[in-house]
Structure 1
Amino acid sequence: MVNGDNGTGGVPRVISVDDHVIEPAHLFDTWLPGKYRDKGPKPFTAGIGDLAYVGGKYRFTTDPAGQITDWWEYEGLLFPYKRIIAAVGFTRDEMTLDGITREEMRRGCWDPKARLADMDLNHVEASLCFPTFPRFCGQTFAEAQDKEVALACVRAYNDWMVEEWCGDSGGRLIPLCLIPLWDIDLAVAEIRRNAARGVRAVTFSEIPTHLGLPSIHSGYWDPFFAVCQETGTVVNMHIGSSSQMPAASPDAPPAVQASLSFNNAMASMMDFLFSGVLVKFPQLKLAYSEGQMGWIPYALERADDVWEEHRAWGGVKDLIPEPPSTYYYRQIFCCFFRDKHGIASLDVVGRDNATFETDYPHVDSTWPHTKSVAEDHVAGLPEEVAYKLLRGNAIRMLDLPFDRERAAGSRA
């Protein structure tokens, strides 16, 4: 149906702009060129030892006598899958840092047909999925020693994402690709390669300097931003894509990082608002993934106040010609899944700027209750506003082949 509710009534079917995929064990054996496979990532199953989350990062040991877990090995480094990243189907008390195998996961974590079935159960029409083993913006490959193999891995992942994960979904699984973060020219080429086959989303680091990469203020990334603008490729930045989460103390429990996770998105957005990037590239679109939105009204108020009162000594008098909020409303999308404060502040957050996510299959996921969560959040809002939040803004953002006419016409 035109309104996207497929006859179910109530809220329209959701387009989720932030979900996750657990990579199948065959990914690199299938998609990596043969000459690189000996040096590429290898899946294996083995016991896991102690696992902890300290200062925003995982620490673990292996143990042959430990719980059987599925792993990747790459350049001598080990990456275990943990239950909290494949949490759907478990109770809250079972969503732990324990290791997990694909057999123990819900099949929709790694099988595209099963994912579509789980989306049907969850009132979701389409889904954009971030990587797991490569990490949120491909840090695993950016940190590799052999960059020739790493580049091949980035391309193999993107080929798998486009052709296998999304290929038979009828557009319901939306491709999100990586770039080789360590080489700007290769990054530009990879954007062009994927845009030529219809990809309109790339994942990028919220704070590149945390990865040892140049800042967005340096001009280094301008060719990347330029090609994203040219091709209509949305730059998606997930919390944690700087390889660290905010932590008040190095020995704080994981609940502290979970509660502060939006801080990375807030810091990144301030960086962009005062960088001049959005002035220089006025059609570039940024998307903050899993950052929520209740913090945005004051962040914009403060940014505009600093611009008004402090721009001369603050170094932005000649760089930012209009109040920073101008560029937010024009070019930035936020997303949410549980954020009543953000809904209450929606007129400032921006009815055209907010999108919805389900975070499948992570511990925060609303699966299989997304419809009721969405209904609870948009209750009392005008039908057209609910449509924008749950569906229409995502269609505009990603240029999706769903009720485009209504989505385009609904913008205020």
Structure 2
Amino acid sequence: MRCRSRRSRSSRGSTVAPATDPCVDAHAHLVPPALVDAIERSSAKLPSVGVHRDDATVTLTLPGLGTPRPIPPVLLDRARSHAWMDDQGIDVQVVGVWADLFGYGLPAGEAAYWHRLLNDLLQEEAAASGRMVPLATLPLQDTALAISELERVLAAGYRGVTIGCSAGADELDADRLDELWAALAEHRVPVVMHPGFHAGDPRTRVYGMPNTLGRAYDTDVAVARLLYSGRLAGHPGLRILLMHGGGAVPYLWGRLQRNHALDPGGLADPATGIDALWFDSIVYRERALSYLLDFAGADRVLLGSDYPFPIMDPEPLRVVRDLDPAPDVRQRICSGNAHAFFGLPTPA
């Protein structure tokens, strides 16, 4: 199945005549290959960031990260990203850095420099690609610094930001972050909220469950807190894209609402914040995608892959093809919704 893209498709998918709407993968990752050398050159400004090299990989250590993991080499390889996109019939990728690099445990001064460095290098790499839309990161551990970096990256041409499901020692509904939420809403900045590998219940840290249950749990807790605190309802301009189909949020929606009904004076009604939420398509099965579309609406689901991690959907268009939605719904999932959410240029 083609996503009405202009690029040719390999024999792995069915053939559909090319059209004009570029196919957009709204959830992918890239680490600028220049980052490691830049860190080593800036060691005096980043004393809390460690670089450890061996023959095949590089591992970065940051405070508060937990057990560090080597940077997968494919994360540094833009050419491999392009080859995979061509194979899958994807024209454009929206890319954020690896969530392990959010650096919310860094001291404030280092955090400001760290995020400027990440954002400048990622923007350069995306510009060189010609097919990637970068997402900026923000130093959430300090609200004033986060707002300052937000203003800087918007002036530099960024179309959105990516954040974690918590802000270092604080949760996203913390009072100190309300000014940041207000700024994001005022400028209608697309926010991609990405869960962390080391988050969630400690019981999920075996059997590969950080990627199956841990990340979903991280999303669920963050979303519930934002809904019940009234943060989403209080800032009507907010637009937040949830990863991995929104975790369990769509399936637990009735339970979230029932909880509010038990304490309507103490909890904001989740229904008042739902309009802020969008969802990627990484649910792997057509029945799950069907439910997600029914829950969120066809205008709130964006194609995603989670490239290039092992847990990714290696053929993200397959689940759309297997569901076989109406052509207008397919167009929205694969192209239109990403253009609307991120404000991408309309194809000529």
Q: Please give the TM-score of this superposition, normalised by the length of structure 2.
A: 0.82
In structure 2, distance between residues paired with 1:149 and 1:260? 28
- Equivalent residue for 1:248, pick from 179, 203, 227: 203
In structure 2, distance between residues paired with 1:358 and 1:396? 19
Gaps of 5+ in 2: 9-15
* Alpha-carbon spacing, 1:225–1:382, altered in 2? closer, same or farther (3 Å): same
In structure 2, distance between residues paired with 1:285 and 1:157? 23
- Equivalent residue for 1:222, pick from 153, 178, 184: 178
Specify the SS of the correspondent of 2:95: strand
In structure 1, distance between residues paired with 2:132 and 2:338? 13
- 1:341 positional shift: 3.4
Alignment partner, residue 71 of structure 1 = 59
- Equivalent residue for 2:134, pick from 163, 175, 190: 175
1:148 maps to 2:102 = no
Q: CA RMSD, aligned part only? A: 3.1
Alignment-mate amino acid for residue 72 of structure 1:
L
* Alpha-carbon spacing, 1:39–1:264, altered in 2? closer, same or farther (3 Å): closer
* Alpha-carbon spacing, 1:45–1:294, altered in 2? closer, same or farther (3 Å): closer
Instruction: Kindly report which structure 2 residues correspond to 1:110-129, keeping only aligned pairs within 5 A, or say none.
Output: 110-129=76-95
* Alpha-carbon spacing, 1:10–1:334, altered in 2? closer, same or farther (3 Å): farther
1:192 maps to 2:138 = no
* Alpha-carbon spacing, 1:110–1:183, altered in 2? closer, same or farther (3 Å): same
- 1:121 positional shift: 2.0
- Equivalent residue for 2:279, pick from 316, 323, 334: 334
In structure 1, distance between residues paired with 2:191 and 2:7? 33
- 1:40 positional shift: 7.4
Confirm or deny: 8 A CA contact 1:123 1:370 kept in the other structure. Answer: no
Confirm or deny: 8 A CA contact 1:293 1:342 kept in the other structure. Answer: no
In structure 1, distance between residues paired with 2:210 and 2:238? 33
Alignment partner, residue 257 of structure 2 = 304
Confirm or deny: 8 A CA contact 1:43 1:70 kept in the other structure. Answer: yes
Instruction: Kindly report which structure 2 residues correspond to 1:3-402, keeping only aligned pairs within 5 A, or say none.
Output: 4-6=4-6, 9=16, 14-24=23-33, 26-27=34-35, 29-30=37-38, 36=44, 39=47, 41=49, 43-46=51-54, 68-72=56-60, 79-81=68-70, 86=72, 102=73, 105=74, 109-132=75-98, 135=100, 138-139=102-103, 142-145=104-107, 147-162=108-123, 164-170=124-130, 172-208=131-167, 211-213=168-170, 215-240=171-196, 243-248=198-203, 252-255=206-209, 258-259=212-213, 261-290=215-244, 292-293=245-246, 295-312=248-265, 315-316=266-267, 320=268, 323-328=269-274, 330-337=275-282, 338-345=284-291, 346-367=293-314, 369-376=315-322, 378-379=323-324, 381-402=325-346
Specify the SS of the correspondent of 1:128: strand
Confirm or deny: 8 A CA contact 1:246 1:261 kept in the other structure. Answer: no
In structure 1, distance between residues paired with 2:38 and 2:166? 32
Identity percentage of aligned residues: 20
Larger displacement relative to structure 2 (153-162 or 265-274): 265-274
* Alpha-carbon spacing, 1:387–1:35, altered in 2? closer, same or farther (3 Å): same
Alignment-mate amino acid for residue 143 of structure 1:
G
* Alpha-carbon spacing, 1:265–1:30, altered in 2? closer, same or farther (3 Å): closer
Confirm or deny: 8 A CA contact 1:195 1:231 kept in the other structure. Answer: no
How many aligned residue pairs are there?
333
* Alpha-carbon spacing, 1:38–1:169, altered in 2? closer, same or farther (3 Å): closer
Once the two structures are superposed, residues 26-66 of structure 1 have per-residue CA deviations (whole angstroms, 9 ceiling, x without a partner) of: 3254489868468475655326xxxxxxxxxxxxxxxxxxx
Confirm or deny: 8 A CA contact 1:199 1:233 kept in the other structure. Answer: no
Confirm or deny: 8 A CA contact 2:141 2:169 kept in the other structure. Answer: no
Larger displacement relative to structure 2 (293-302 or 224-233): 293-302
Q: Please give the TM-score of this superposition, normalised by the length of structure 1.
A: 0.71
Alignment-mate amino acid for residue 70 of structure 2:
Y
Specify the SS of the correspondent of 2:57: strand
Specify the SS of the correspondent of 1:127: strand
Alignment partner, residue 12 of structure 2 = none
Confirm or deny: 8 A CA contact 1:28 1:156 kept in the other structure. Answer: no
* Alpha-carbon spacing, 1:247–1:5, altered in 2? closer, same or farther (3 Å): same
